[in-house]
Structure 1
Amino acid sequence: MSAALSGEDRAESIRMIRDSAAAVAPPGGDMKRVRDLRFQTPGFDPAVLRQMGEMGWIGLRLPEAAGGAGLGLGEACALAEELGAALVPEPLIPAMLTGSLLAAVGAGPLDRVLSGEALVLTAWQERPDTLDVPGSPDAPRRFLPMAAGAASFLLPVREGGRIALYEQQAGAGLTTEQTQDGGHLGTLEPSLATATRIADDIGEALSLALDEAALLTSAYLLGGMDRAFAMTLDYLKTRQQFGRIIGTFQALQHKAADVRMQIALTRASIEAAAATLDDGATGDARRAVISRAKARAAASSMLVTRECIQLHGGIGYTDQYDVGLYLRKAMVMANLYGSAALHRRRFMAVSPEVEE
């Protein structure tokens, strides 16, 4: 539906999505809630995930016939950006990925996923820093965000030249490891003997879903770096040293200008990618704009949040000060769905703008 909107109507749709995010991600964030959930199990609030489902966020990208809202990536990226600004820990992007797969095959627990009643994670990754899906039947599936809160897992399994899809209920075979931001990643041992086969071939649908998840993660990182910079500007305007506001020091002004430029370039790349995809780009053109956006967001999020810590001085290094939470989140999110290095390589391989 979004692709058919005029420019003015699409801008209004994106504005409304941003406004709706305040229900979960109020302006300025709710750092007490974020801190209370850190290093806890499951690391997020299931009631908030259900609220996201009730608001239609999990099915935001799905057609109305599949129970979704039929909106575009422009709206989805705007939502992800708002959630990133508030460091919302609920795994909305992984839930959206699963919803896309289940809607594509018309099977499995789609209603429970879209309502937020159950977190179902797609266990596709077998090794670090890849977008490839080997589908090995016995290989451990790694890097599952907030896996302790999942009701079940989707297992892509290669069978001949196709990738079938199974659902495995949560239980034995799952281990978790804490991450810097206070969440965790899970590793799942597949058990096809107890899993339910729900689709014969999901290869293309999974590839598209992973690309969209990469772009949405880029937008989440953008929201985090933008908010961290806003906090830093407030600090520079109020903190005094040697009888002067430190924001008047030319060296700090230069650093702040560099940070602002990184954020602006990241925003332009993400918005261009979302618009290109909403206009119907496919194949290499689609992959190129997504990889350009993710490479920039992954690299810039680390650079920006580190500079924000530096600009805060000693207080920025304390865990009690909120700006450090944004660096910790970037450290975890930057490599999800492909690192900056991986996406730079993919961009070079698929972009028609790059000469051989």
Structure 2
Amino acid sequence: MEDQDEAVCMVRDSAAGVLAGDLPRNRALRFTEPGHDPARLRDFAGLGWPLLRLPEAQGGLGLGVPALVALAVELGRVLSPEPVVGLALVASLWPDAGVLDGSRIVLPAFAPFGGALLSYDGGRISGTASVLLGGAAEGWLVQTAGGAALVRAGAPGLTVTQDATHDGGHLAHLVFDATPAEAVPGDIEALRDEAALAHAGYQLGLAEQAFEITLAYLKDRRQFDRPIGSFQVLQHRLVDLFMELQLARAALEQAAGAGQPTQTSVALVQVGQAADLVTRTAIQLHGGIGYSDEADIGLYLRKAMVLKGLFGSARFHRLRALDIGEAAA
């Protein structure tokens, strides 16, 4: 356990150092295609990040979900658009050399929590799926009723469309009409829970950074010859945000270590609630400047809005946690 904790700390500290100063670059990538920097993605792959979930017996690092979540938190702090977490998830079931070195983008396409699974019959997929920043991928690892299946870009019967998102990215919609696919062994349902935790990690990272940006602003902004952060009413609001973040981090770290669906749903609810509250309140505390595109804090609110609910609504996960808990009892 101590060895794993040390490994997670190493991943976190290493990622924080590598990603420091990346926010201006990520800001400039908004409203561009493919929405990320392929060279930067290969740099991340060179650090071994896609190997985090791959077992050591297969040449990976085998550090587990806590390390992947720790990485996602640091990516969220700088709003990194590179899909390195998606590559790590795919590589845990399909360790293709191009995925591992970042030269080939294959992303997971999960069924929505509570939604119907895509059909998979006779090596062909039918149904729909959506993937954030997935339009430029060379393939997708799709969750179907028959398990995981790999669909390559340009396959017959596959239609890919994109909708722009509020944060300057896009959401790719995949429509499969008897599309040829290759079965991939492994538990993709469990992988969806891991992806949800990594998603929550990204949300937590952006929320914590939004809090830190706001705290620094309140210390710097002056009214009535004093920093506005010295006003007690604003201090109370900051304390409330800090407590929300602490509760969210505790829930996420517990879920990442437990590997239980109940804990995953609890973490998604807690982190999603914190990210929404912190980013919205941060805009209010910045005043008018917070609404301008020039202010970095607005980027965090937009990203939080786009990520909200991508892995199921808070209502669904509350009910899921309750149902699983009652069944276990």
Same fold (TM over 0.5): yes
Q: 2:69 aligned with 1:95, yes or no?
A: no
Structure 1: segments with no counterpart, 5+ residues: 1-5, 104-109, 278-285
Match of 2:122 in 1: none
Q: 2:285 aligned with 1:311, yes or no?
A: yes
Match of 2:211 in 1: 229
Match of 1:267 in 2: 249
Match of 1:140 in 2: 128
| 8 Å Cα contact 1:294-1:343 kept in structure 2 | yes
| 8 Å Cα contact 1:124-1:135 kept in structure 2 | no
Aligned equivalents of 1:320 and 1:170: distance in 2? 39
Q: 2:162 aligned with 1:176, yes or no?
A: yes
Secondary structure class of the residue paired with 2:126? coil
The amino acid of 2:292's aligned partner reads: T
The amino acid of 1:135's aligned partner reads: L
> Could you say if the C-alpha distance between residues 17 and 163 of structure 1 is closer, same or farther in structure 2, counting changes exceeding 3 Å?
closer
> Could you say if the C-alpha distance between residues 66 and 354 of structure 1 is closer, same or farther in structure 2, counting changes exceeding 3 Å?
closer
| 8 Å Cα contact 1:173-1:189 kept in structure 2 | yes
Task: Give the TM-score, by structure 1 length.
Answer: 0.84
**Which of these residues, 149, 165, 174, is aligned with residue 188 of structure 1?**
174
The amino acid of 1:198's aligned partner reads: A
**Which of these residues, 71, 83, 92, is aligned with residue 79 of structure 1?**
71
> Could you say if the C-alpha distance between residues 239 and 269 of structure 1 is closer, same or farther in structure 2, counting changes exceeding 3 Å?
same
Q: What pairs up with 1:11-26 in 2 under 5 angstroms?
A: 11-22=5-16, 24-26=18-20
Match of 1:154 in 2: 141
| Deviation (angstroms), 1:314 | 1.0
Q: What's the CA shift string for 1:12-46, capped at 9, x where partnerless?
A: 222211222145411xx422211110010100011
Aligned equivalents of 2:247 and 2:147: distance in 1? 37
Aligned equivalents of 1:344 and 1:140: distance in 2? 25
Match of 1:247 in 2: 229
| 8 Å Cα contact 1:61-1:72 kept in structure 2 | yes
The amino acid of 2:218's aligned partner reads: L
The amino acid of 1:349's aligned partner reads: D
Q: What's the CA shift string for 1:142-194, capped at 9, x where partnerless?
A: 2x111222012234443xxx33624232476211011111111101122545x
> Could you say if the C-alpha distance between residues 152 and 264 of structure 1 is closer, same or farther in structure 2, counting changes exceeding 3 Å?
same
Q: What's the CA shift string for 1:65-104, capped at 9, x where partnerless?
A: 223211022222211111111111112232223223325x
Secondary structure class of the residue paired with 2:161? strand
> Could you say if the C-alpha distance between residues 35 and 94 of structure 1 is closer, same or farther in structure 2, counting changes exceeding 3 Å?
same
Secondary structure class of the residue paired with 1:49? helix
Q: 2:198 aligned with 1:198, yes or no?
A: no
Match of 2:113 in 1: 130
| Deviation (angstroms), 1:115 | 1.6
Aligned equivalents of 1:122 and 1:30: distance in 2? 25
| Deviation (angstroms), 1:353 | 10
| Deviation (angstroms), 1:133 | 5.1
Aligned equivalents of 2:72 and 2:150: distance in 1? 28
| Deviation (angstroms), 1:206 | 0.9
Aligned equivalents of 1:303 and 1:353: distance in 2? 32
Aligned equivalents of 2:65 and 2:182: distance in 1? 30
Aligned equivalents of 2:144 and 2:192: distance in 1? 16
Aligned equivalents of 1:170 and 1:49: distance in 2? 23
The total of aligned residue pairs comes to 322
Match of 1:3 in 2: none
| 8 Å Cα contact 1:166-1:192 kept in structure 2 | no
| Deviation (angstroms), 1:124 | 3.4
Q: What's the CA shift string for 1:105-149, capped at 9, x where partnerless?
A: xxxxx2221221111123333xxx52545123332222x111222
> Could you say if the C-alpha distance between residues 349 and 261 of structure 1 is closer, same or farther in structure 2, counting changes exceeding 3 Å?
same
Task: Give the TM-score, by structure 2 length.
Answer: 0.91
Secondary structure class of the residue paired with 2:241? helix
| Deviation (angstroms), 1:52 | 2.1
Structure 2: segments with no counterpart, 5+ residues: 120-124
Structure with the bigger percentage of strand: 2
Q: What pairs up with 1:263-342 in 2 under 5 angstroms?
A: 263-277=245-259, 286-342=260-316
RMSD (Å), alpha carbons:
2.2
The amino acid of 1:177's aligned partner reads: D
| 8 Å Cα contact 1:87-1:326 kept in structure 2 | yes
